[in-house]
Structure 1
Amino acid sequence: MAATPHRNAPAVDGLVGGLLAVVAEQLGRPLPARLEQAFRRVHRHRFLPARIWLRDGTGGYELVDRAAEPARWMTAAYSDEPLVTQFTDGLPSSSASMPSMVARMLLLAGLGERPPGREIASPRVLELGAGTGFNAGLLCALLGDRQVTTVDLDPLLAARAGENLKAAGYAPRVVVGDAADGWPPGGPYDVVLATFSVDHVPPAWLTQARPGGRIVTPWTSQWCRYGTLSLTADEQGRAEGRFHAFASFMQMTRPRTAGVGPASVPASSASGEGAAEGSSTTLSPWAVAGGDLDAEFHIGLVVPGASFAWDTSGEHTHTRLEVADTTTGSWATVDYDGRTSAAFTVAQAGTRQRLWDEIAAAYRRWEQLGRPGIDRYGLSVAGRSAMVWVDSPATAVATR
């Protein structure tokens, strides 16, 4: 059920005002008046369950229970932080996104303000991933209930979102379904807006977007879960647009599939170290997996399927970068002996030959391009095919 204020909780208006000030600081400017008004009308706490989880700063999560800590719970509700609202098999499976991220995506979708002469009489929006219903509530406040359709795969989440929306006074169409399929009965849409990350654009989104309409979605790859993609659809069912350097969202859930994440390399697998090809590299493993988001974003785009994990246990060497392609079973390791950073020992094996060499080549290409930031990348999509480019489609860096 939707949350209601507790008598010992801080006043909502003050909390909303504080949140809007933080969001404005994050964006570098105040929100447009109509979007600010939507945030003031749609109270975030009404869309949250009684138990939420905050990041604890050590990679874990800390429970905040409204019954036990009402003031802290309300303060968390109006913080510019992602709040986990559901766990499945011990892992976060639903969350309330950071309000500043929500605002950025609405602005990218062209829903925060309407430039003179470019208004759409009745913009129709397909939201993919209902979550708590908060984002759909903002859309209803901006556009009206009849213009908003929200889809969620999880029937329980969809039902809760519908209840939260009803309690807050909104009634968009709430649908249970696979977000990858969109929702054809409500199309075509002026905006297709995802609240989870994808590593490709589902073809159904292209066919359901009106020519000139926008598709906005967080982006992910096995190597780097970061970035947001904003596309404009054309009359031929294609779309083109750019990436933007913000957002890290949960990945799209598909029916009967498990989430895939970085996998540990089977250094002692049936193939054994003896089956691996040994070599050395002068490229530091930290250059490609040490936190440089621009480099990691590039590698994620041009070496699809590759993921990494660090082994600092000392079992094999001082520090090991483990690289894997879980679809083929291919893997590589890059070892630092704790003494010299002039060269690193490499082992690689599997049907995807020389996985580390692919990554090293991708990094060199990134350097040749001038070490571009995420905002310089774009994507052109047609059906199931896509081309990644830097600055313009004339400089293609990968096809997918």
Structure 2
Amino acid sequence: MNEHDVQEAGPGGLASVLMGKGALSSDWLPAFKAVPRDAFVPDKLWPGTAGGNRQGEVIDRQTDPAKWWGKVYSDIPLTTQWDDGAHSGTGKGRAPTSSNSMPKMVFSMLRELSVERGCRVLEIGTGTGWNAALLTHRLGPDNVVTVEVDPAVAEEARRRFGATGLEPLTLVGDGSAGHLERAPYDRVIATCSIARVPYAWVEQTRPGGIIVAPWGPAYGGQGIARLTVGEGGVASGPFVLSSAFMRLRDQRDTFPPTSSFPGADAWSADGEKRASSLSPDDMGDWIHMFTLGVQVPDMFCRVQAGTDGAYRLWILDMAGTSWATADYEHGRTEYEVVEYGPRQLWAEVEAVMSWWHKQGEPQFERYGLTVTSQGQRVWLDSPDNPVPVRVP
């Protein structure tokens, strides 16, 4: 099979998959056909999984074009940069920092954006440029502004825009500031995750406009927030689906090392031991991580691997004063817990999970977000029902 054969089969097959999943709607099909994904993917890529948190080995178009085409026209994310460009070569770096997003997520978010003829759109996070090119095909270059923090990534996207004849206004800068000169916008879309909605996005969106952005707390778990901007500078709306995006560079979290916590080296010597029926394995579910992070925003976790699938889950606070561990082994119904410091962090986790069960185990679609000039709050079912925040 040569590259041309794969190309001919790839787009049509991917379109069928996306339409079958309900992601690619008929109004976006012309853009999908006119803006091929392969035109916005570099020769070297690291194929991801549907969850987006694991990358396979590098695939090079020059040495294996058939495999490259097959991955490009699969419904998976494609990592295209590691470590803000500091990493080179064909191996994996420490952290992926740019990608061509999973097509299902791309078109699901574009669907939620609800663009109409004449809409002016601000995109945060140009990346490889595919998303901005799709918007440009539908709305025209004068109606799309895209902002990218990485100059090299932005320049490569400009090259691809020029090659396809789709050239939105492409800027290098901090996306959290938006782009005031072209405001107000009818729509704002972010292709990077945030823990705080920059209020500049709300200020630069006209009343009645829509903001679509991946939002998630430091602990983990992300959902796509679809916010409508009101007359009083308040943006509010539901989470419409789960997501897994790289963080806006301006909002990346820095967590203290475990070794800096008092008592962590000695581990169980000074900590308080007890048993818990709450399994550490439940803490890895995306919705659980989201709920924990919303209610205890200064908490984060690490996993210490053991043998035969066993592991130790560390729960730590940002201040570096308290920690807890819970040991997981397959088949157990009670788990050894050690807590250290002024806070009983595992007890806080248990309280959050008890709340979640009592609320009927809500998924992302029951949560929502409201943003004002004073801050933001997550709510359940209604803006009048804020999710409790358990600050010490």
Secondary structure at the counterpart of residue 372 of structure 1: coil
Deviates more, 1:177-186 or 1:214-223: 214-223
Aligned to 2:164: 168
Q: 1:318 to 1:192 in 2, by over 3 A?
A: closer
Q: Quick check: 1:365 aligned with 2:355? A: yes
CA distance in 1, matches of 2:79, 2:66: 18
Secondary structure at the counterpart of residue 12 of structure 1: helix
CA distance in 2, matches of 1:262, 1:135: 35
- The amino acid of 1:134's aligned partner reads W
Aligned to 2:388: 398
Q: Quick check: 1:31 aligned with 2:4? A: no
Preserved CA contact (<8 Å) 1:241 1:380: yes
Q: 1:279 to 1:19 in 2, by over 3 A?
A: same
CA distance in 2, matches of 1:262, 1:18: 46
1:140 to 136, 151, 154: 136
Q: Quick check: 1:47 aligned with 2:36? A: no
Deviation per residue, 1:287-324 (Å, 9 max, x gap): 3x143x33332222212132223333269x95422112
Aligned to 1:77: 72
Deviation per residue, 1:319-362 (Å, 9 max, x gap): 42211233445321113477752x333222346x2222221111
Secondary structure at the counterpart of residue 301 of structure 1: helix
CA distance in 2, matches of 1:92, 1:10: 31
List aligned pairs for 1:124-273, cutoff 5 A.
124-254=120-250, 260=254, 269=264, 273=268
CA distance in 1, matches of 2:288, 2:63: 44
Identity %: 35
Q: 1:327 to 1:66 in 2, by over 3 A?
A: farther
Aligned to 2:314: 322
Secondary structure at the counterpart of residue 397 of structure 1: coil
Aligned to 1:383: 373
- The amino acid of 1:383's aligned partner reads S
CA distance in 2, matches of 1:150, 1:62: 30
- The amino acid of 1:178's aligned partner reads D
Q: 1:272 to 1:322 in 2, by over 3 A?
A: closer
2:337 to 337, 346, 349: 346
**1:157, distance to aligned residue in structure 2 (A):** 0.6
Structure 1, unaligned runs of 5 or more? 1-5, 115-120
Q: Quick check: 1:276 aligned with 2:271? A: yes
CA distance in 2, matches of 1:318, 1:137: 46
Deviates more, 1:330-339 or 1:36-45: 330-339
Deviates more, 1:324-333 or 1:85-94: 324-333
Q: Quick check: 1:301 aligned with 2:294? A: yes
**TM-score normalised to structure 2 length:** 0.88
Structure 2, unaligned runs of 5 or more? 88-92
**1:71, distance to aligned residue in structure 2 (A):** 1.7
**1:240, distance to aligned residue in structure 2 (A):** 0.4
Secondary structure at the counterpart of residue 5 of structure 2: coil
**TM-score normalised to structure 1 length:** 0.86
Deviation per residue, 1:141-199 (Å, 9 max, x gap): 11000000000110111111111111110121111111111111111111110001111
Q: Quick check: 1:313 aligned with 2:317? A: no
- The amino acid of 2:110's aligned partner reads L
Secondary structure at the counterpart of residue 211 of structure 1: strand
2:327 to 310, 335, 340: 335
Preserved CA contact (<8 Å) 2:258 2:264: no
Aligned to 1:92: 96
Preserved CA contact (<8 Å) 1:263 1:309: no
Preserved CA contact (<8 Å) 1:263 1:307: no
Preserved CA contact (<8 Å) 1:84 1:95: yes
Preserved CA contact (<8 Å) 2:221 2:287: no
CA distance in 1, matches of 2:329, 2:129: 50
**1:270, distance to aligned residue in structure 2 (A):** 6.1
Preserved CA contact (<8 Å) 2:125 2:148: yes
**1:203, distance to aligned residue in structure 2 (A):** 1.2
CA distance in 1, matches of 2:48, 2:330: 32
Preserved CA contact (<8 Å) 2:49 2:77: no
Preserved CA contact (<8 Å) 1:222 1:261: no
CA distance in 1, matches of 2:332, 2:67: 49
Backbone CA RMSD of aligned residues: 2.8
